[in-house]
Structure 1
Amino acid sequence: MLMKPPLALFLNFSGQGGVERMMLHLAKGLQPLYGSVEIVAVKTRSRYLQNDALSVPLQSLGVKHTLQSLPRLALYLRKTRPAALLAAKDRANQVAVLARALARTPTRVVLRLGTTISAATAHKPRWHKAAWALPIRYLYPKADAVVAVSKGVARDLQELVGRPLDSVVVIPNPVITPDLILQAQQPLGHPWVDDGNTPLLIGMGRLTTQKDFPTLLRAFQRVRTVRPCRLILLGEGSQRRSLEALARHLGIAQDVFLVGFVPNPYPYLKRAAVFVLSSIWEGSPNALTEALALGTPVVATDCPSGPREILQDGAVAPLVPMRDPEAMAHAILDVLDHPPDKGRLRQAAAPYTVENSARMYLKVLLGEDP
């Protein structure tokens, strides 16, 4: 009996971002639907690989940079001839298109775009924007399909390319795993989490410009003047020291705790009085979806792209302007005073299950209508 050619997922596991986590979820979701699935990695430094019981075969290309992986990926395509190659992250997307051309194989190439490019490059120098945009305009149309994680990301890509792309498909991220609820029930033993009398606010994500945690700290300062509360930030990044300094400057350091990277953030999310997304750009924010799935009340910035779609134009939970601590604080206080129906929150996250997302991805990978 002939074995089916595998489905290959190609990316650089260089950190602990949402892309790495989503691709691991997707790989596990595709296995029972298709069978042979393997991950082809540029690097394998991600903590998710260290903390995850990986059930999918992983091949490391053993290079230091994604662009250096081109010849090795082309050799992999020529030797293995997977049924489809799904690439994630922009440089991996570019390399995937070039590798197929170099390998001259019939493998379907599908690209995943997980961020709103125009917003991500809005404050970059002109040369940087051009260096990012030109390869996208030339290479992305050559792929068999491009998966956008939200309608906003899809629109942004087509505006960047300068014409409609029939190959663009919107598929929700594979966020909600079967064991999410079980993971959320794990004990923490943190005194702030166990204190049921003081509301706990949670922010989550890399400590970088994109997540705009300074606005969250300033909003928290305003909330704290009205009622006692505490704030925990989950994640690590380059802005840790500046955020700690800002917390001291605002006089809130004693009620702010930067936990760092947490392999299982769900017990924190489940026990939060409010999860706050303060980003200035996204693609489809996974932490927001996870909080909703756990029935945790949320407040989110109306950033491009994703929160407005997930929160159904603000019908599910408040959307606030970006970089507006006053509006954010007002929304947080309103949610604390009037907690929403948890069932409505969970319903909003329903499209983002691993099973639903994997089924849609499989159809695109096999060239079928999703």
Structure 2
Amino acid sequence: MTRIACFFSTSGHSGVDRAAQHLIPALARRGYQVDLLKVRRHGPLLSAIPPGVRVIDLGSRHTYACLPAIAGYLRRERPAVLLSDKDRVNRTALFARTLARIGTSLPTRLVFSSGTTISIDLATRGRLERWVQRNSMGRLYPFADQVIVTSAGVADDMAAYTGLARDLIRVVPSPVVPDSLFTADLPRPDHPWLGDPAMPLILSAGELCRRKGFDTLLRAFARIRSQRPCRLMILGRGGERAALLALAAELGVAPDFALPGYVPEPYAFMAHADLFAFTSRWEGLGFVLIEALAVGTPAVATDCPSGPREVLQDGRYGPLVPVDDVAALAQAMLGTLDAPLPAAQLHAAARPYAIEAATDAYLDAMRLPRCPA
């Protein structure tokens, strides 16, 4: 039976984790044997191990230290494909395949994945780390059989920043939402701010950090709140929590602002909100934006690099505003609250990111049949 190996080393709650938690069971449902190669104390964490999936402990908490174990696994199991994600993991996968091939014929194809706008992501890193990753992608990634990314913006940025040929990079939609979500009747969460027609709820979600632009969202919300009754809720946790609460108090909107914390599956909150605001300064795709559209909630997004412009199809499925433009964001949110698009129209924007459709795209990129013979 055809075997696919997935090698990840993640935080446990990143976009890569969520994609892997959807992709791995979907591949197994198609009839593939899937091995999740795990760095200790790192994600992704599967809520349950489905039939056809093995979780293999690589014996170390450090990615590079797992290299001998991965090489041994490749020699022993000879999977058709080794799929990896993020630069350090990708480099380790390449070195492991090279080591495993010494003195033997190894058929394993190597597929690298990356999900961030690399030039912006590295801008705040140290000079050495920037040099290593830039040269790694430009000089080592051509030895992979395929490089896949989450959006065309990420692909263009990677090619321009690293020198990797653009035609070596393939855009593959991430498996973001279950197919059942498009028709699900989600119960209203037990929160007093949901379902109050007199006080529309603006919702956002993500790590409470500078990258997500929640400070800009709060300032735009304060403008809206001065014109009409409404509330703002942001789901997530992170280091900017105290700063956001202080800013809300400074702006005079603290009574109508809430930070409930991290919600593993925010679908029900999204479904019962009146508007979803996506305000990142940079991204690789924007999972929460896709999730909101999938449950039929109107959305507004910053035109950040990269992802929202592709997801919203140049503004067809929701307004795009410049990053950090408080006035434009406030105006777009007001306009969308007054004239939201119908849910059926919003679903169309999210359907390429449904799990089964995205799994088809992954299998095509890995040069495997959508269902093995």
Q: What band does the TM-score fall into relative to the shorter chain?
A: over 0.9
Q: Judging changes above 3 Å, is the alpha-carbon distance between structure 1 residues 281 and 18 closer, same or farther for their aligned structure 2 residues?
A: same
Kept in 2: contact 1:109–1:144 (CA 8 A)? yes
Supply the distance in 1 between the matched residues of 2:213 and 2:83 (Cα, whole angstroms): 30
Q: CA deviation at 1:132?
A: 2.4
Q: Indicate the residue corresponding to 2:25 in structure 1.
A: 28
Kept in 1: contact 2:187–2:268 (CA 8 A)? yes
Given the alignment of the two structures, is residue 16 of structure 1 paired with residue 29 of structure 2, yes or no?
no
Q: Counterpart of 1:192 in 2: which secondary structure?
A: coil
Q: CA deviation at 1:367?
A: 5.9
Q: Give 1:49's aligned amino acid.
A: L
Q: Indicate the residue corresponding to 1:54 in structure 2.
A: 49
Q: Superposition pairs for residues 84-99 of structure 1, below 5 Å?
A: 84-99=81-96
Q: TM-score scaled by structure 1?
A: 0.92
Q: Indicate the residue corresponding to 1:272 in structure 2.
A: 273
Q: Judging changes above 3 Å, is the alpha-carbon distance between structure 1 residues 248 and 63 closer, same or farther for their aligned structure 2 residues?
A: farther
Kept in 1: contact 2:151–2:172 (CA 8 A)? yes
Supply the distance in 1 between the matched residues of 2:162 and 2:155 (Cα, whole angstroms): 11
Q: CA deviation at 1:341?
A: 2.1
Q: Counterpart of 1:166 in 2: which secondary structure?
A: helix
Q: CA deviation at 1:14?
A: 2.3
Kept in 2: contact 1:108–1:144 (CA 8 A)? yes
Q: Relative to structure 2, which stretch is displaced further, 121-130 or 146-155?
A: 121-130
Per-residue CA deviation, residues 344-366 of structure 1 (Å, 9 max, x unaligned), is 11111111111111112112223
Q: Counterpart of 2:189 in 1: which secondary structure?
A: coil
Kept in 1: contact 2:64–2:92 (CA 8 A)? yes
Give RMSD over aligned pairs.
2.0
Kept in 2: contact 1:231–1:256 (CA 8 A)? yes
Q: CA deviation at 1:92?
A: 1.2
Q: Indicate the residue corresponding to 2:359 in structure 1.
A: 358
Detail structure 1 runs of 4+ shifted over 6 Å in the superposition. none
Q: Superposition pairs for residues 310-329 of structure 1, below 5 Å?
A: 310-329=311-330
Q: Give 1:12's aligned amino acid.
A: S
Q: Superposition pairs for residues 242-321 of structure 1, below 5 Å?
A: 242-321=243-322
Supply the distance in 2 between the matched residues of 1:142 and 1:176 (Cα, whole angstroms): 32
Supply the distance in 1 between the matched residues of 2:55 and 2:329 (Cα, whole angstroms): 42
Supply the distance in 2 between the matched residues of 1:181 and 1:30 (Cα, whole angstroms): 21
Q: Counterpart of 1:40 in 2: which secondary structure?
A: strand
Q: Give 2:26's aligned amino acid.
A: G
Per-residue CA deviation, residues 21-72 of structure 1 (Å, 9 max, x unaligned), is 10111112212224211211213455x737x233232223242222222222
Number of equivalenced pairs: 364
Kept in 1: contact 2:156–2:166 (CA 8 A)? no
Per-residue CA deviation, residues 201-226 of structure 1 (Å, 9 max, x unaligned), is 11111112221211111111111111
Kept in 2: contact 1:29–1:355 (CA 8 A)? yes
Supply the distance in 1 between the matched residues of 2:310 and 2:64 (Cα, whole angstroms): 33
Q: TM-score scaled by structure 2?
A: 0.92
Per-residue CA deviation, residues 218-277 of structure 1 (Å, 9 max, x unaligned), is 111111111111111111122222222222222222211112211121011111111111
Q: Indicate the residue corresponding to 2:242 in structure 1.
A: 241
Q: Please state which structure has a larger fraction of its residues in helix.
A: 1
Q: Counterpart of 1:335 in 2: which secondary structure?
A: helix
Calculate percent identity across the aligned residue pairs.
44
Structure 2 alignment gaps of length 5 or more: none
Q: Judging changes above 3 Å, is the alpha-carbon distance between structure 1 residues 300 and 43 closer, same or farther for their aligned structure 2 residues?
A: farther
Kept in 1: contact 2:148–2:171 (CA 8 A)? yes
Q: Counterpart of 1:158 in 2: which secondary structure?
A: helix
